């Protein structure tokens, strides 16, 4: 499967399938305690490598997974955002994780909105969720900016088993709110 042509673009960001060249930035991100607090915590380089490989594997198995987020103005890898639904997941998710040095720039909602459009328009999803740690107020702000709302509590599959808030919306709700988004 040729995944090279699969990419999304926003005014400031390029979202593309992860590549091996992303590993150094990916590993640095996964080594940041604050940035990974709500996504499973710090990972040593070998575990981060397996995480990148798993993301690429999901692309090949499902035809979608999180994109690498590239800042157009600098070419820097600034995070991973996109559709995600591994075995046992509570539903079709669009998730986000941005490197801490780029927090507060609006990259998470900008990239996530492009991914939600893609999930509805290309993947044919009828709803989207976001799994958020109950204490992760920053992600709740992003979810709210996207027009999502709290739906329920759910348990993430092993090995995590953590309880997460599930936020989300339907395709119809997303389309109705599209005109109000920048």
Per-residue pLDDT 10s for the chain (182 aa) are: 787 789 999 999 999 999 999 999 999 999 999 999 999 999 999 999 999 999 999 999 999 999 999 999 999 999 999 999 999 999 999 999 999 999 999 999 999 999 999 999 999 999 999 999 999 999 999 999 999 999 999 999 998 889 999 999 999 999 998 766 55
Residue 144 phi, psi dihedral angles, 5° rounding: -65, -45
Residue 177's SS3 state is helix
Q: Which domains can be identified in the chain, with CATH numbers?
A: 9-178 (3.40.630.30)
Cα 181 from chain centre: 19
Whether the CB-CB separation of 90 and 154 falls below 8 Å is answered with yes
In order of 65, 76, 124, 133, 134, the CA distances from 154 in angstroms are 21, 34, 24, 10, 11
**pTM score above 0.85:** yes
């Amino acid at each position: 499967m040729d995944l090279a042509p699969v990419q999304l673009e926003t005014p400031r960001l390029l979202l593309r399938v992860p590549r091996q060249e992303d590993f150094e930035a990916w590993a640095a991100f996964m080594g940041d305690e604050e940035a990974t607090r709500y996504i499973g915590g710090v990972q040593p380089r070998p575990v981060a490598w397996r995480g990148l490989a798993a993301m690429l594997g999901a692309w090949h198995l499902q035809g979608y997974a999180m994109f690498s987020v590239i800042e157009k103005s600098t070419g820097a890898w600034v995070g991973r955002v996109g559709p995600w639904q591994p075995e046992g997941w509570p539903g079709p998710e669009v998730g986000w994780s941005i490197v801490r040095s780029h927090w507060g720039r609006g990259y998470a909602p900008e990239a996530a909105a492009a991914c939600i459009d893609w999930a509805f328009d290309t993947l044919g999803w009828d709803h989207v969720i976001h799994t958020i740690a109950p204490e992760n107020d920053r992600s709740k702000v992003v979810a709210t900016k996207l027009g999502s709302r709290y739906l329920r509590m759910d348990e993430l599959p092993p090995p995590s088993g953590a309880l997460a808030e599930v936020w989300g919306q339907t395709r119809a709700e997303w389309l109705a709110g599209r005109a109000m988004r920048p």
